[in-house]
A and B are shown apart, each in its own frame.
Chain A
Amino acid sequence: MLVPVSWLKDYVNIDVNIKEFCDKMIMSGSNLETAEHFGENIENVVIGKIEKIEKHPQADKLVICKINVGGNDLVQIVTGASNVFEGAIVPVALDGALVPGPLHGKPKEEGGTRINSGKLRGVDSFGMLCSAEELGFADKVSPLASREGIWILDSNAGFELGKSIVEAMELDDYVVDFEITPNRPDCLAMLGMAMETSATFQVPMVRPEIKCECKGEKTAQDYISVEIRKPELCKRYTARIITDVKIEQSPWWLQKRLMYAGMRPINNIVDITNFVMLEYGQPLHAFDIETVADRKIIVDTAVNGQKFITLDNKERELTDTMLMINDGKEPIAIAGVMGGINSEISGSTNTVILESANFLGDSVRFTSKKIGLRTEASGRYEKGIDPNLCEEAADRFCKLVEMLGAGKVVPGSVDVYPNVEKPQTYSNRVSRINKVLGTGLSREIMEDYLKRLGIEVGGEGDILLATPPTVRQDLKIEEDFVEEIARIHGYNNLPITIPRSNVMVETSKSWQIRELTRELMCGMGLNEIQTYSFVSPKGVTGIGIDEDAWENDFVKLLNPLGEDTSVMRTILMPNMIEVMGRNAARNVTEVKAYEIGNTFTPNMINPEGLPDEQLSMAVGLYGEGIDFFTLKGIVCELLENLGIRNLSFEAEADYGVYHPGRCARVLVEDNELGIMGEIHPNISEKYGLPKRSYACELMFDKIINMAHVEKYYKPLPKYPSSSRDIALLVGEEILVGDLESIIKEAGKELLECVELFDVYRGKQVQEGKKSVAFALTYRASDRTLTDEEVNKIHSKVLEALNEKTDAVLREI
């Protein structure tokens, strides 16, 4: 909401500098975006009159203007603008002048732009004629007549030639852009902001003049009738009649206010409707009475499929939920949205019907959305307007018509208002207000704050009755009044305390394990990444997973931004591979990354219920020296640190993401935790990854469940251990993991640990065989083992190995 401070002063007599004004308004609840200073950076720009226009001898598109700027000599200025004419009053930037700009299509310069004399195609030019934009006005508010060139000023305004334009046109003003929250539609009006200003600075507020001097025998009722057939959608319809309408430009003071408030001046009638809308927040609409069949206004819903052409010359298809303004025969406006071309005001219009009506916000919102047309009026109706404004706004329109001599106002109005909305009284408790705020404010102070906001107060003792004006549709419950009192008191004046609550801090195991995992992964040199929860449905098959796999059973978005973000991720791997690919494409030579995040699958038990959300963890690695066992080492170290033991790895040849010979399922006992491997060369190629890239995805919710991070001390061994190294000659098909299991099982009574230290294939070993070397450590907790004891158990181990795998000992 753009509020010109000079306009605001029509209603509240404040005398503060702009900074203080802005600061105090912010603290009382009117937040603002900017305060723009108009008339700034303008020097030596004066009012001039074009006395003579001559052709430029060298250029068809330029003309030479002789301009009267109040002195004896005319000033010669060359311009390329096509809208100049002899007798036009224009802003003239003299030699050395300063204008705010922007100029000549360049961006606005800080501190403005200097204008100097010069030659234009060989002809002297002693300055520049200015457009409205060059003087700091946005293109969208430039008066229509001056839009494509020099700003042609109001010749009737009596601006003194040669006088500084800032003084003559009173340009010096601040325009504050207030941010209006949706609960305060009443502040989308100058009067609403005036009320806030009045409350903030404790100065009384003066309402606008609305009393017309209109005379005449006929009254509005003699011209038209109004019928509301859908009172649930139209609370009130007020109409007034203006005859002998004279369409012309508005006077400068009115144009200026509209321009500062962000609207383009059009002509007097349109400008007055806009002015009153800005003043009261009540949209107005004018119909040419000649186009209204039977002189009847009927408010009713449309017929399905009906066609209607709006003012912007577009045909709209209507439905029976849309509220329309009809005459005796057909629709003439879409209620609260836009008028029809069939009832438009034109230059030849003599008599207009002024509509000041109240349409239900939801209805206007629905219609506006359905036909895809949002207007200044529809936006205001949507937010809610007080029906008690209709008459006053209509009267204000009439008053301004009279003031401007834009027509003759017919006495009386047609005002259909079946259910009058009266101010409501709400009961509040002084004690409760203080209890919520943590204050000890007296009843008198509270009453004063409320009164400053135009709220009537009553009641006694603890009961504080409050009756807000009907424009304040946001005040309905006690807490609403608590806020009013708090903001007028000033949030900065509230005390500062700390809750005395005595509550136990509870820790979340899930959070703790995630945090520990991040520490561990980072400790092992991996970086954490975070990727979108919504993904492309093609991502899963894209990394080689079967189409009918569970990973393709997505939770889908009804209204995604695009195909790429249209389903919720079921696994993290597609994102991980994409991130690895993106880094590879950017020549990042090493990626060691992990992500922990939610994955989503449809709710199998209750399809109506919320989808299942499961935490997952992905790891991705590529770079020099990284192989399958780097990844495996990371996985093992992580899980060991989380207290998850008894890991095993099972070769998996059929998971499309990975190399069929270099992929493993990660198991804890028989419980699968995830899958890892070297990314399949086809996938690596497709995503631009280095040839050997590795990845893993673990079901993190399971990890959280299994994690056992409480530590217990185990006494250090008191008796020495005894070691035996063995090298086993086995067939290639025998897995190291199986050998380890056999050793552990057979030696479990005394075996403390078994560690692989070498796998050898080559000259000394026959084809199809390998040599696998382990170090075995035996220990008893209660005695020193004798050689005999060790030999006995060790032989048992060797026998088991031989029996199950045909392993034979090889000399080391």
Chain B
Amino acid sequence: MQKQLNSILEKAKEQLIEVTSVEATEEIRVKMLGKKSELTQILKGMGKLSPEERKELGQAANSVRTQIEEMLDQKFKEMKEMAQNLKFATEKIDVTEPGKKMNVGVKHPLTITLNEIMNVFKSMGYSIVEGPEIDTVHYNFDALNAPANHPSRDMSDTFYITQDMLLRTHTSPDEVRTMETKQLPFKVVIPGRCFRYDTPDATHSPMFNQVEGLVVDEGITMADLKGTLDTFAKLMFGPETKTKFRPHHFPFTEPSAEVDVSCFKCGGKGCNVCKGSGWIEILGCGMTHPNVLRAGGIDPEKYTAFAFGMGVERVAMLKYGVDDIRLFYENDMRFINQFK
């Protein structure tokens, strides 16, 4: 009996050597360990034996079975691996072929620029406020201390809806609206579309976007204004950015200033973006005129304020090197896609 078992084991060994596939291994498994196999027959026939013999033979038969099973497992593993390697070889791909297009869209470059500006001010604790694009002469001019005969009020400068209603020429009207409604103190930024009577060309657009800022509190100083805009410039254009405040005039601020930032392309050495000067004019600002504070119902003796404003198109054009403002409103997909 032991002999027979040894021969079964030998047979299994011999047969397995020649096997080259998972299927053939399976055949051998059925043949060697299946219901009709020699080994199974032996085990089935054990009932007729005495308990001693049964124990002895049982151990021997099970040992053979285990050995065969181990051999089979080993073979299955080998065969699987072989088959897989074969499959891998046939499934090889050219990884240099282009990827499948996922096609994420892109925000308008003016939105991207505006968001960058807004994110800087949000990080500095400013709230976003918005106002109507069509506003009154009161909010757009009168309340902002614009002289009654100021040329900007002309029909050749401003679009009118009626004698008292116009397309706002700046976002500043919302300064007064905010003063009227918001609890003091506050820090706000006001983005929005503005309109001026300009025939479109490469540098002019009858519609454009502005961001206005306004801070009202007791003890706000011009030094605060400088610090705020200097911080903005560094966050927006890089930590090396320098600012220069030049005296200027606006009816709604006194003192007023224009702000230049060191050229973010050449760093101040002089290039075509800054026209060789090393500086780029980016902002108008100043201490809010007491007449404007009064128009907004705020006591200028108690509160002081500063305000600033900048053109989003101008920043975007400088940042991206766009040389024609009309491109922003043509919406050619080949233009927009460049801002991915």
Of the candidates A506, A511, A531, A591, which one forms a contact with B130 in the assembled complex, judged by CB atoms under 8 Å apart?
Answer: A511
Q: Kindly specify which of A42-50, A245-253, A456-464, A551-559 makes contact with the partner chain.
A: A551-559
Q: Least Cβ distance of A352 to chain B in Å?
A: 33
A480-515 near B? 1/0 per residue, CB < 8 Å:
101100110001101111111111111110110001
| Contact of A610 (CB < 8 Å), options: B136, B217, B287 | B136
Question: CB-CB contacts of A730-774 with B at 8 A, as 1s and 0s?
Answer: 000000000000000000000000000000000000000000000
**B10-18, B35-43, B153-161: which one contacts chain A?**
B153-161
Q: Is A518 an interface residue (CB 8 A)?
A: yes
Q: Which of B160, B185, B223, B336: most chain A Cβ within 10 A?
A: B223
Residue in A26, A436, A527, A579 whose CB lies within 8 Å of B222: A436
Whether the pair A528, B105 counts as a contact (CB closer than 8 A) is yes
Kindly state the separation between the CA atoms of A498 and B226 in the bound complex, as whole angstroms: 8
Contact assessment for B199 and A582 in the assembled complex, using a CB-CB cutoff below 8 Å: no
Partner of B128, one of A482, A498, A507, A524: A507
Contact flags B110-145 to A (C-beta < 8 A → 1, else 0) = 110001000000100111111011111000000000
B134 with A582: CB separation less than 8 A: no
Q: Using Cβ atoms and an 8 Å threshold, which residues of chain B touch A492?
A: 244-245
- Digitize A187-213: 1 where CB-to-B-CB distance is under 8 Å, 0 elsewhere: 000000000000000000000000000
Closest residue of B by beta carbon distance from A183: B249
Distance A533 CA – B209 CA, assembled complex (angstroms):
12
CB neighbours (8 Å) of A38 from chain B are none
Instruction: Tell me if A497 and B227 are in contact (CB < 8 A).
Output: yes
Set of chain B residues within 8 Å of A507, measured between Cβ atoms: 127-128
Q: Which of A494, A524, A590 has the most CB of B within 10 A?
A: A494
Task: Report the contact-size class of chain B (Cβ under 8 Å from the partner).
Answer: 35 or more
Contact A498 B228 (CB under 8 A): yes
Does B332 reach chain A (CB closer than 8 Å)? yes
Known A524-B105, A530-B328, A561-B206; judge A498-B246 contact (CB<8 A).
no
Closest to A559 in B: B155
Indicate if the CB atoms of A503 and B304 lie closer than 8 Å: no
The answer to whether B219 touches A582 (Cβ under 8 A) is: no
Task: For A583, give its contact among B103, B256, B333 (CB under 8 Å).
Answer: B333
Which residues of B have CB within 8 Å of A510?
A: 130
Residue A27 interfacial (CB < 8 Å): yes
Contact B245 A501 (CB under 8 A): no
Chain A contacts for B244, CB-based, 8 A: 492
A1-48 interface with B by 8 A CB criterion: 26-29, 31
- Separation in Å of the A263 CB from the closest CB of chain B? 23
A435 and B219: CB pair below 8 A? yes
Chain A neighbourhood of B289, CB < 8 A:
479
Cβ of B220 < 8 Å from any Cβ of A?
yes
| A533 pairs with B122, CB closer than 8 A | no
* Complex contacts, A214 vs chain B, CB 8 Å: none
Task: Verify B249–A588 contact, CB threshold 8 A.
Answer: no
Q: Does A237 contact B (CB under 8 A)?
A: no
Assess whether A568 is interfacial by the CB under 8 Å rule. Answer: yes
Given A556-B161, A561-B199, does the pair A523, B108 have CB atoms closer than 8 Å?
A: no
Query: Which of A477, A483, A559 sits near B159, CB closer than 8 Å?
Result: A559
Q: Which residues of B contact A405 (CB under 8 A)?
A: none
| Pair B219/A500 contact, Cβ less than 8 Å | yes
Tell me, in angstroms, the Cα distance from A611 to B47 when the chains sit together.
103
Query: Any chain A CB within 8 A of the CB of B283?
Result: no
Residues of A within 8 A of B150 (CB): 182
Nearest CB in chain B: distance from A95 CB, A:
34
Q: Does A375 contact B (CB under 8 A)?
A: no
Main SS at interface, chain B? mixed
Quick one: which of B209-226 are within 8 Å of A by CB?
215, 217, 219-224, 226
> How far, in whole Å, are A503 and B333 apart by their CA atoms in the complex?
42
Q: Which residues of chain B are within 8 angstroms of A521 by Cβ–Cβ distance?
A: 105
Residues of A within 8 A of B248 (CB): 29, 31, 181
Do A438 and B331 touch across chains, with their CB atoms under 8 A apart?
no
Q: Which residues of A contact B332 (CB under 8 A)?
A: 582-583, 586, 588
- A487-B223 contact, Cβ under 8 Å, with A529-B336, A559-B155: no
A613 proximity list for chain B (CB < 8 A): 132-134
Bound-complex Cα distance A559 to B187 (A): 36
Interchain CA distance A492-B257 in the complex, whole Å:
11
**A436, B304: Cβ atoms under 8 Å?**
yes
B330 x A582 contact (CB < 8 A):
yes
Inter-chain contact A531/B105, CB cutoff 8 Å: no
Distance to closest chain B CB from A29 (angstroms): 4
Is B180 close to A, CB under 8 A?
no
Judged by a CB distance under 8 angstroms, whether A525 is at the interface is yes
Taking the complex as formed, is A184 at the interface, i.e. its CB lies under 8 A from any CB of chain B? yes
Given A438-B222, A499-B228, A503-B185: A559 in contact with B193 (beta carbons within 8 A):
no
In the complex, whether B62 has a CB less than 8 A from a CB of chain A is no
A158 CB to nearest B CB, Å? 41
Max chain A Cβ within 10 angstroms of own Cβ: one of B108, B193, B215: B108
Q: Is the CB of B221 within 8 A of A436?
A: yes
A437 within 8 A of B: yes
In the complex, what distance in Å separates the CA atom of A613 from the CA atom of B131?
Answer: 10
CB pair B122 A505 closer than 8 Å: yes
- Check: B186 CB closer than 8 A to any chain A CB: yes
Which of these, A436, A528, A559, contacts B160 with CB under 8 Å?
A559
* Cβ of B76 under 8 Å from chain A: no
The residue that B135 contacts in the complex, of A494, A501, A593, A610, with Cβ under 8 A, is A610
Q: Does A565 contact B (CB under 8 A)?
A: yes
- Asked if A472 is an interface residue, CB under 8 A from chain B, the answer is no
Closest to A501 in B: B217
Q: Is B280 an interface residue (CB 8 A)?
A: no
Is A526 located at the chain interface by the 8 A CB criterion?
A: yes
A483 with B193, Cβ < 8 A, contacts A182-B150, A499-B224, A586-B332 known: no
Residue B69 CB within 8 A of the other chain: no
Tell me the nearest residue of chain B to A31, going by C-beta.
B246
Q: In whole angstroms, how far apart are the Cα atoms of A176 and B186 in the complex?
A: 42
Q: Give Cα A521–Cα B104 distance, bound, in whole angstroms.
A: 9
* Cβ < 8 Å to A, chain B residues 140-179: 149-151, 155, 159-162, 165, 167
Could you tell me if A499 and B133 are in contact, using CB atoms closer than 8 angstroms?
no
Indicate if A308 sits at the interface (CB-CB under 8 A).
Answer: no
Q: Which residue, of A28, A556, A613, has the highest number of chain B Cβ atoms within 10 A?
A: A613
Interface assignment of B207: CB less than 8 Å from any CB of chain A = yes
Give chain B residues whose Cβ lies under 8 Å from the Cβ of A590: 333
Q: Is A425 an interface residue (CB 8 A)?
A: no
- Bound form: Cα–Cα A674–B228 in Å: 43
Check A491/B245 contact, CB under 8 A, given A438-B221, A530-B111, A559-B197. Answer: yes
**A-contacting residues, B292-309, CB 8 Å:** 304
The residues of A that contact B328 with a CB separation of less than 8 Å are 530
Which residue of the partner chain B has the closest CB to A474? B249
- Say whether B268 faces chain A, with CB atoms less than 8 Å apart: no
Given the known interface contacts A479-B287, A527-B336, the answer about A435 and B221 at a Cβ–Cβ threshold of 8 Å is yes
Question: What is the bound-complex CA distance between A268 and B143, given in angstroms?
Answer: 49
> Which of A27, A510, A558 has the most CB atoms of chain B within a 10 A radius of its CB?
A558
Q: Given the known inter-chain contacts A501-B217, A503-B185, A503-B186, please indicate yes or no for A525 contacting B331, CB distance below 8 A.
A: no
- 10 closest A-B pairs (Cβ-Cβ)? A438-B223, A438-B221, A29-B247, A483-B255, A181-B249, A522-B105, A491-B245, A529-B331, A479-B254, A487-B247
Q: What are 14 of the A-B contact pairs (CB < 8 Å)?
A: A182-B249, A436-B221, A479-B290, A501-B187, A505-B127, A507-B128, A527-B333, A527-B337, A534-B167, A559-B160, A590-B333, A592-B105, A598-B133, A610-B136
Known: A437-B223, A483-B247, A496-B230. 14 other contacts (CB 8 A): A31-B248, A439-B223, A491-B222, A498-B231, A505-B127, A518-B111, A528-B111, A529-B108, A529-B336, A530-B331, A561-B197, A561-B206, A610-B135, A610-B165
Binding site for B on A (CB under 8 A): 26-29, 31, 181-184, 361-362, 365, 435-439, 477, 479-480, 482-483, 486-487, 491-492, 494-508, 510-511, 515, 518, 521-534, 555-561, 565, 568, 579, 582-583, 586, 588, 590-593, 598, 600, 610-611, 613
